[in-house]
Amino acid sequence: MAERPGAITFQGNPLTLLGDDIGVGAKAPDFEALDTGLAPVRLSSFAGKVVVLSSVPSLDTPVCDMETRRFNDEAGKLGDGVVILTVSMDLPFAQKRWCGAAGVNHVKTLSDHRDASFGMNFGVLIKELRLLARAVFVVDQGGMVRYKELVKELTHEPDYDAVLEAVKKCMGK
């Protein structure tokens, strides 16, 4: 298993990421995570759509809350050809509760708590915390990674404008 010491920081302290470093131009690896109804969901089930994969440490933290709300707002404007998935280690029950309380209904939340399949396959599992790093991947209709942002400091937000620009490029806009 690949380890990338110091790949990110949390409040300035270096952390190690586990899994392969997936880059732009790579085939997006499949993974399986649980939705809020405990049903398994695979990336491959969204073939033919542009998929934004937003990984966050926990929806119950301020930055993850802001990020997921922002992506929910954007998802409502992007149309049926785009799916935004927010993946965390939160339990499906907690994700469902959070989505209900936050009014999040356009983003689909997935829990990676069972197998860390997403975290390992996309190289964003934090060894020291068993949480996911903050990262965003845009996968095109053919399953290729067209954009990647690994946020270096866990407490910072991603570049939303760059993510949305990558989505538009995938859609030919």
Q: Does residue 64 carry a catalytic annotation?
A: yes
Q: How many Cα atoms sit within 13 Å of 67 on the Cβ side?
A: 31
Q: Where are the alpha helices (DSSP H) in 79-173?
A: 92-102, 117-121, 160-170
One-letter identity of residue 1: M
Element (H, E) at 1: none
Choosing from 51, 53, 56, 64, the catalytic residue is: 64
Instruction: Give the catalytic positions in this structure.
Output: 64
